[in-house]
């Protein structure tokens, strides 16, 4: 099993930075766009970065398989024997990339024994990188400055507490999930992993996703939030699972900055 340490993390950050430079080059010009079978867009940047990351990770750790969103046609029968693997989203937020919002990222995660243990979320245009590994803390590197991420919001016992929820698009269903006396303040942001970053920074209390995502969208976020005392859970308040199903599609979920809050009291799902 790959040892988790600062040297490994430094290597992954370097790979993410290299990939980010390539992605920025693609962003500066027009790219070819096509549609995948699930009717979501994919660009030549997605495919190039996927191949680049795969090659770099295989050079770094030849014995660890790499699972990419753009190369995930691997049956469970084969991958269920994996004790560890890299899971990558070469361009999380392809639509944001196309729409030129700057709010997209490169995501690299390491999963050991079906649990995310290391994650890097790199947004090259925003110059923000979130990273964490198990028992090593969670950090934000922004414009070459490093910040330790901590859980700053310890309680929500104000009777008129406002719950700041980040989303990809404003969904009225979310408002009905928030129980009185709590109130929701909704705001939109870019890729799924960057919304997780806002939760980790304390700029949002949670990210509520009522729509499909892949395991590559949440693995790095899982360890990032875990290291600050946060969590990701489905609408039955159960944890997400990794590499245990034929499908990679996650159930709808909530990412929270503080798992100790009474989320079963704050949120209700029909």
| Per-residue pLDDT tens digits for 178-190 | 988 888 888 889 8
229 annotated ligand binder: no
Q: Is 217 flagged in the annotation as binding?
A: yes
What CA dihedral angle connects 146, 134, 260 and 215, to 10 degrees? 100
pLDDT at 154: 52
Q: What is the pTM of this model?
A: 0.93
pLDDT in tens, 259-268: 998 899 999 9
Instruction: Say whether 101 counts as a known binding-site residue.
Output: no
> Tell me: the pLDDT tens digits for 19-78?
999 999 999 998 899 898 878 899 999 999 999 999 999 999 999 999 999 988 899 999
CA distance linking residue 153 with residue 100, whole number of Å: 32
Mean predicted lDDT score pLDDT of the chain? 91
25 is in an annotated binding site: no
Phi, psi of 163 (to 5 degrees): -100, 115
Confidence of residue 152 (pLDDT cuts 50, 70, 90): low
Arithmetic mean of pLDDT, 224-249: 96
Please, what are the domains in the chain?
6-148 (3.30.540.10), 162-266 (3.40.190.80)
> How far apart are the C-alpha atoms of 56 and 6, rounded to whole Å?
18
Cα Rg, the chain, nearest whole Å: 18
Q: Which pair of tokens denotes residue 231? A: 């969590």
Judge contact between 83 and 1, C-beta under 8 A: yes
160 band by pLDDT with thresholds 50, 70 and 90 = very low
92 is in an annotated binding site: yes
Please indicate if the annotation marks 89 as binding a ligand: yes
Task: Answer whether residue 121 shows pLDDT above 90.
Answer: yes
């Amino acid at each position: 099993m790959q040892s988790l340490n600062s040297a490994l993390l430094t290597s992954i950050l370097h790979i993410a930075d290299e990939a980010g430079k390539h992605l920025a080059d693609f962003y500066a010009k027009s790219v070819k766009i096509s549609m995948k079978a699930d009717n979501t867009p994919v660009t030549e940047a997605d495919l190039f970065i996927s191949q680049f990351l795969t090659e770099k990770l295989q050079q770094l750790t030849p014995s660890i398989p790499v699972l990419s969103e753009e190369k995930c046609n691997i049956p469970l029968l084969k991958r269920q024997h994996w004790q560890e693997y890299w899971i990558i989203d070469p361009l999380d937020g392809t639509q944001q990339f196309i729409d030129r919002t700057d709010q997209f990222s490169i995501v690299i995660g390491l999963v050991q024994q079906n649990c995310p243990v290391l994650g890097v979320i790199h947004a090259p245009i925003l110059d923000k990188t979130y990273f964490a590994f198990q028992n090593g803390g969670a950090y934000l590197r922004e414009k070459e400055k490093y910040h330790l991420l901590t859980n700053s919001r310890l309680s929500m016992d104000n009777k008129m507490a406002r719950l700041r929820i980040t989303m990809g698009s404003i969904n009225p269903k979310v408002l009905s999930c928030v129980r009185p006396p709590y109130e929701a303040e909704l705001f939109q942001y870019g890729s799924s992993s960057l919304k997780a970053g806002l939760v980790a920074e304390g700029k949002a209390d949670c990210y509520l996703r009522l729509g499909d995502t892949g395991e590559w969208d949440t693995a790095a976020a899982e360890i990032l939030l875990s290291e600050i005392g946060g969590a990701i859970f489905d609408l039955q308040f159960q944890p997400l699972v990794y590499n245990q199903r034929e499908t990679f599609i996650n159930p709808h979920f909530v990412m929270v900055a503080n798992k100790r809050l009474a989320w079963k009291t704050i949120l209700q799902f029909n």
